[in-house]
Amino acid sequence: MAFKIASSPHLSRNFQTSTLMQRVILCTLPGVATQCYFFGWGVLIQVALAITVALISEAIVLQLRKRPVADTLKDNSALLTALLLGIAIPPLAPWWLTVMGVLFAIVIVKHLYGGLGHNIFNPAMAGYVMLLISFPVQMTSWVAPMMLASQPADLLGSLQLIFLNPSASEVEAYKLGFDGIAMATPLDTIKTDLSMGLTSIESLTKSIFNDGFGVGWFWVNMAYLAGGLAMLKLNLIRWHIPVGVLASLFICASVGYLLNPDTHVGPLLHLFSGATMLAAFFIATDPVTAATSVRGRLLFGALIGVLVYVIRTYGGYPDAFAFAILLANLCAPFIDHYIKPRTYGHRSRS
């Protein structure tokens, strides 16, 4: 019987990497559908564009590396990377932004390190951070939720805004709420208001918070939470990293809110705004770039949660999951080295 040596992810379940990736993609569909409902056709357009670029670029790189193209593309890893990056990019961002992000994620972050199983950073988050640092205006220009938008974009309008380089005034019309104020994400709104001297309670009175969490964002997070719970039920991921992320974020936010509710928002807003549930279940649990032991995964998740709270509260970016996950990726080998499961039959030294 031959013993096969392969790169990570090392799966103990009775299905291949391609099946794992395929099922994870299926579990994201409730969140993607909810995101489309609240933010329009641009979400699907960005995802479709990202997937197209990812498959083409991976095929070209595999051809240059003299690797089997068809068999490698079937592992669905490029498809999942493109999906995660596509839903993280603002729905009406220009097409070249998505193309650059996907090319960086696939060609540089994934294949420059040797391909699937060899990359030290999560490709989707590395591509997102590259775009956020390089093009902060475009990457923070989210459209208003459909029910608050002064001029919701239909399918044709979304295609024109993404691919035809419209004027600034045309783009801005789709980013305005019914009160005529340029729309930002709930976390960005709070951070901006606090920097202007408003309290968190005053900021929460704005129209984007009329359901208490941010119009649309609560239900988007609930949908990704449902998909994450489905992955746990199907044994696609372990519970340790999501619990570590959410528990540490909840504790940090609770302490901050109890100390000063005027300058800190409550823990529920942290949990159900931005990319919290998407990142906790679908991104941080990447088996290639996360820690591997049970205690290591808990620590890995807790580190992400703490970093998210610190950056959201004291840093310059309203949502910090991409930065937190990349920093935790750097720490994963260190965590695995010092937190190892005890060998069966051996006593621990006192």
Q: Between these two residues, 166 and 25, which has the higher pLDDT value?
A: 25
User: What letter does residue 68 receive in the DSSP assignment?
Assistant: -
For residue 329, what pLDDT is reported?
94
Q: How confident is the model at residue 18 (pLDDT cuts 50, 70, 90)?
A: confident
On the question of pLDDT at 142 being above 70, the answer is yes
Of residues 200 and 322, the one with the higher pLDDT is 322
What CA–CA distance (Å, rounded) separates 297 from 23?
A: 22
pLDDT at 119 (0 to 100): 87
User: What confidence score (pLDDT) does residue 158 get?
Assistant: 84
The more confident residue out of 146 and 37 is: 37
Considering the entire predicted model, what is its pTM? Answer: 0.86
Instruction: Kindly write down the DSSP assignment for every residue of 130-162, as one continuous string.
Output: HHHHH-HHHHT-PPPPTTTBSS---HHHHHHHH
Mean pLDDT across the chain: 84
pLDDT tens, position by position, 85-135: 999 999 888 999 999 999 999 999 999 888 888 888 999 999 999 999 999
Q: How much of the chain exceeds pLDDT 70, in percent?
A: 84
Residue pair 156/143 in contact (Cβ under 8 Å)? The answer is no
Domain ranges (residues) in the chain: 17-337
Confidence of residue 342 (pLDDT cuts 50, 70, 90): low
The answer on pLDDT for 179 being more than 50 is no
Distance between CA atoms of residues 195 and 321, nearest Å: 21
State residue 343's pLDDT score: 61
Q: Which range, 48-57, 63-72, 271-280, is most confident? A: 48-57
Segment 319-324 mean pLDDT: 90
Please tell me the distance from the alpha carbon of residue 85 to that of residue 75, in angstroms, as a whole number. Answer: 18
pLDDT, average across residues 11-22: 72
206-213 long-range CB contacts below 8 Å, 24 or more apart? 207/148, 207/177, 207/178, 207/179, 208/145, 208/148, 208/177, 208/183, 208/184, 212/269, 213/186, 213/268, 213/269, 213/272, 213/273
Q: What is residue 174's predicted lDDT score, i.e. its pLDDT?
A: 54
Nearest residue to 147 (alpha-carbon basis) of 87, 207, 193 = 207
User: Is a pLDDT exceeding 80 seen at residue 344?
Assistant: no
Instruction: Give the pLDDT mean for 147-171.
Output: 72
- pLDDT at res. 88: 92
Decide if pLDDT at 3 tops 60.
no
Predicted local distance difference test score (pLDDT) of residue 123: 94
Query: pLDDT for 255-307, tens place per residue?
Result: 999 998 888 888 988 899 888 999 999 999 998 889 888 899 999 999 999 99
Radius of gyration of the chain (CA): 21
Place of tokens 């998505």: 98
pLDDT for position 5? 44
- The phi-psi region of residue 214 (left if phi > 0; otherwise alpha if psi is between -120 and 50; otherwise beta) is left
Q: What is the model's pLDDT at position 317?
A: 81
Three-class SS of 26-51: HHHHHHHHHHHHHHCCHHHHHHHHHH
